[in-house]
Chains A and B, each alone.
Chain A
Amino acid sequence: MDRRLFLAGTAAIVVLPLGPAAATPDAMAEAIKKVIGEATPIEGRMKLDVPPLVENGSTVPLTVSVESPMTEADHVKAIHVFNEKNPQPNVFSARLGPRNGKAMVGTRIKLGDSQRIVAIAETSDGKFWSVGADVIVTLAACLEESP
């Protein structure tokens, strides 16, 4: 009895701000195309570190790294991160160069829902690389109606 009520009640209080139409896998594909043009990214050389299950989508730690000597002749020029379901597909675009010594960038992102994240790297030889990860976002149990 208790539990049933609880289920009903708590499910009902999860009121989400209805945002504009969310980004879709298509919107993500389009955003990626803007960056890489007609090139086909190669899967590999990259690592996308993000917890597979996050306790709260509002601050998700994420680290992207690319295997690269980071020399004048052979380095990572840019790292881009995209997502499927936030209102916008772009998360960030970082510009790097040989002065970084190591191609690794960390930040924290917002994820409104469980979804796939994709990172793309551009190397100095004009190639594109990619890696993806699925993240499951659980919802906080005790929210507030208004701040």
Chain B
Amino acid sequence: MRRRLLVVGLGLVFVATYAAAQVGSQSGADKRRSGYRDMGEALQKMQDDDTANPGMLFVQLGSQLWAKPAGVANKSCADCHGADAASMKGVATRYPAIPAGSDRPLDLEGRINLCRTQHQSADPLPPENLDLLALAAFVAHQSRGLPIAPPADPRLEAFRQQGEEIYRRRQGQLNLSCAICHDDNAGKKLAGIVIPEAHPTGYPIYRLEWQALGSLKRRLRNCMVGIRAEAWPLDAPEYTALELYLMERAKGLKLETPAVRP
């Protein structure tokens, strides 16, 4: 235990890796990189092979739930959206979004819960619930390979700005902002791990650290805990604002759901 702390302490030095290469990146080419590219070959292979990617077990569960009637309405997702879910193609690329008749953005999990309450007369599923994650993974998987395409809805702008403000704000006992790590020090090493650019390309992800599937909110929460900031409860609107900003920042990058991450 003590030895491991020591190792961590020593390792916690920002080691420049390809940072030098990033200097003068004004050439116009898109230099943004998904966290996929920061992983070693073994983990990339794990993500790429559909029968080796543990996230695919949850996509499979999601496809089973898709066809299963639920709620007082006793209707399945498939009853309204089609058995093959082709109607879900591209949907995950444009969330969070504001649903009809509302003025607040919802992320994909929130949109699925809206269908549960509105269309299935069922209770909403709690954050990080296995069935909710599996459904979200199944829906987002239909967009794998498609570029992130946030909607043009002008009403989203205020929320996105709130997200960017959170992203740039120094917070927590370590007084760090997301931007200090993910913009200024992306590509450098922290305790042996490459700091990724924080693009939400693969959610829900199978995170090895969790040994389970988890949402972008849970991932963001981990970073907040990491800088010893007060993390909001998982249903706080701040996460949706951050998600909106991160999706805009990652616009055009391809979705990978279900991604594998360390």
Contact = CB atoms under 8 A, between A and B. Distances in A.
Please say whether the chains A and B touch (CB closer than 8 A).
yes
A143 B9 contact: no
A11 B8 contact: yes
A55 B4 contact: no
Interface string B1-14: 10011001101111
Interface string A4-28: 0111011101101010000000000
A51 B40 contact: yes
A124 to B, nearest CB: 30
Interface stretch (B83-91, B100-108, B189-197): B189-197
Q: Which of A5, A6, A7, A147 has the most CB of B within 10 A?
A: A6
Interface residues of B, number: 40
Contacts, number: 97
B262 A11 contact: no
Contacts of A55: 39-40, 43, 192-193, 208, 262
Interface string A108-120: 0000010000000
B213 to A, nearest CB: 13
B11 A58 contact: no
B191 A147 contact: no
A129 B174 CA distance: 51
A56 B228 contact: no
A43 B195 CA distance: 39
B173 interface: yes
Contact of B226 (A16, A54, A138, A143): A143
A101 interface: no
Contact of B262 (A5, A140, A144): A140
A56 B176 contact: no
Given A3-B14, A144-B221, A11 B5 contact: yes
Nearest to A59: B208
B46 interface: yes
A53 interface: yes
Given A55-B39, A144-B221, A145-B225, A139 B211 contact: no
Contact of B9 (A7, A51, A147): A7
Given A2-B176, A55-B262, A138 B1 contact: no
Contacts of A113: 4
Contacts of A143: 209, 222, 225-226
B257 to A, nearest CB: 18
B225 A6 contact: no
A44 interface: no
Contacts of B13: 7
A11 B225 contact: no
A58 to B, nearest CB: 5
Nearest to A10: B12
B144 to A, nearest CB: 21
Nearest to B173: A9
Contacts of B193: 55, 138-141
Given A56-B208, A139-B8, 4 more contacts: A9-B174, A11-B9, A138-B11, A145-B225
24 contacts: A2-B176, A3-B14, A6-B12, A9-B227, A10-B8, A10-B174, A11-B5, A11-B9, A13-B225, A16-B1, A16-B4, A54-B40, A55-B39, A55-B40, A56-B209, A61-B42, A138-B193, A139-B8, A139-B11, A139-B192, A141-B193, A141-B195, A143-B225, A147-B210
The 10 closest A-B pairs by CB, nearest first: A138-B192, A142-B226, A55-B262, A56-B262, A56-B208, A142-B222, A59-B208, A11-B9, A140-B209, A9-B174
